[in-house]
Amino acid sequence: MRYDLSKLDKKKLVIILILTCVILSGFHFLLNRNEVQKNREVVKPEVLTYTVQRKDMMRRISLYGETIAEANIDIAPKYTGRIKDVRVSLGQVVHKGDVLLVQDTGDLDLSILQNNAASRQAEADAQEAVATYQALYDKVNANYQHDKTNYERYATLYDQGAISKEELEKVSQKMIDSKSALDTLLNQRMAEETPASVESKLAAWEKSQKGEAMLAKQRDDLILYAPRDGVIGYRNAEVGAIAQAGQKVLSLVDNSKIYVDCELSEMDIAAVKVGLPVDINIEALGNTYHGDVIYVSPAADVATKHYIVRIELKNIDAQVLSGMFARTDLYSLQRKQTLTIPKESLMQRNGKEYIFLVDENNKTQEKEVTTGLRNDEEIEILSGVVEGDIIAISNLARLKNNMSINAISQESQVDPS
């Protein structure tokens, strides 16, 4: 049997090459593994640190609300009627007393003319009644005075025996009749010495005058005036249309002053007083405006159990409009000069609370602490750390006891600007 030695040599060569590649690959893997392990041992986690200090602990109170105009007035007609003229457009600036809209006054003008005529007639009737009564009174009074004087003269003659008793009685009866007529006129007078017949005419005249004033007022109500300075913010009125009584046709917005109304819970209301200065941020404009608290509701809303706080903005510009979202933050003192740590530095495990201390060699040490007051940003520490201690506030999940870290002070991260 003959063997092909060249083929056997080739197979051996291939096997040797394959084994060589496998050995080299394994050696390279081991080298890389050792290098990775070394790198892991060398790389230290970056940890933000905070120096524990004693300071006033403040609780942040966030206020949210919408800007509110000084006035936002809906304007509606008092009476139903056809619109004759509209003198304003959307966005137009108006001043107090400007005519905004006029309804048709034609029918009312005719009623006013008719009432004026009736009033003049009533006035004439009253004046005639007064003159008639006065003339009658003057005549009856003159007759009485004449008859009285005549009686006195006859009485003297009777005493002298110049006339008979029958003649005296005749003159006396005439005087009595004159006096009776005068008394009748006087009895017709009322409290202000005006006789009933005249008083009724005067009352009719007064009634017609009041009717005239009422019609004039009604006519004036058909003309809508601007109640104050402002800008027309709504218009739903066209010439020829029927405006219904009480239906809004225009609105007037006065942005001369802008307020922000916010709601506060009973826990926060004690921190807010009238006169408190605040800075209000209007996010839509990206601007902050100074303001003052001008009102704190004396009682909580029955439905929401919240208190209303009104803030007046100062030095506003034309960009600030009603209905914009606004916010501000207030700070309320929780505790004076106490030890605090950032909220994110605290860990909880099995009902206990811990922090990581960082020593001068940048090594960590887990430490149990006792906490006190809390807010959205800080936690009061009652025991476990002292002022000046350095604690870790980031990467806590990666930390272990006696672990070397790359410590970065939080103070160094603050923007100096």
Q: 74 Cβ partners below 8 Å, 6+ apart? A: 234, 248, 250, 251
What pLDDT digit, counting tens, does each position of 396-416 carry? 989 999 999 998 987 655 444
- Name which CATH class applies to 255-334: mainly beta
In whole angstroms, what is the distance from residue 307 CA to residue 266 CA?
7
Would you kindly state where each structural domain of the chain is located, as residue ranges?
A: 46-57+335-413, 77-103+222-248, 107-220, 255-334
Q: pTM for this one?
A: 0.58
The pLDDT score that the predictor gives to residue 198 is 65
Lowest mean pLDDT among 26-30, 88-92, 295-299, 332-336: 26-30
What confidence score (pLDDT) does residue 1 get?
Answer: 44
What is the phi/psi pair of residue 122, to 5°? -65, -35
* Domain 46-57+335-413 = CATH 3.20.20.110: no
pLDDT given at position 169: 84
Structure tokens at 376: 């959205």
pLDDT of residue 5: 46
Q: Identify whether the C-beta of residue 401 lies closer than 8 Å to the C-beta of residue 358.
A: no
Q: Assign domain 107-220 to its CATH superfamily.
A: Helix hairpin bin (1.10.287.470)
Question: Would you state the pLDDT for residue 367?
Answer: 94
- 136 — pLDDT class (breaks 50, 70, 90): confident
54-75 mean pLDDT: 92
pLDDT in tens, 273-285: 999 999 999 999 9
d(CA 99, CA 76): 13
Please answer whether residues 339 and 54 qualify as being in contact, where contact means their C-beta atoms are separated by less than 8 angstroms.
Answer: yes
pLDDT on residue 195: 64
Given pLDDT bands bounded at 50, 70 and 90, which one contains residue 417?
Answer: very low
Least confident of 42-46, 67-71, 162-166, 184-188: 184-188
Higher-pLDDT residue of 140 and 36 is 140
Q: Which of 296, 360, 289, 297 has its CA nearest to residue 327? A: 289
pLDDT over 70 at 189, yes or no? no
326: pLDDT strictly greater than 60: yes
**CB-side neighbour CA atoms (13 Å) of 332:** 16
More confident residue, 111 or 337: 337
State the pLDDT at residue 412. Answer: 59
Q: What is the CATH number assigned to the segment(s) 77-103+222-248? A: 2.40.50.100
Q: 394: pLDDT confidence band, cut at 50, 70 and 90? A: very high
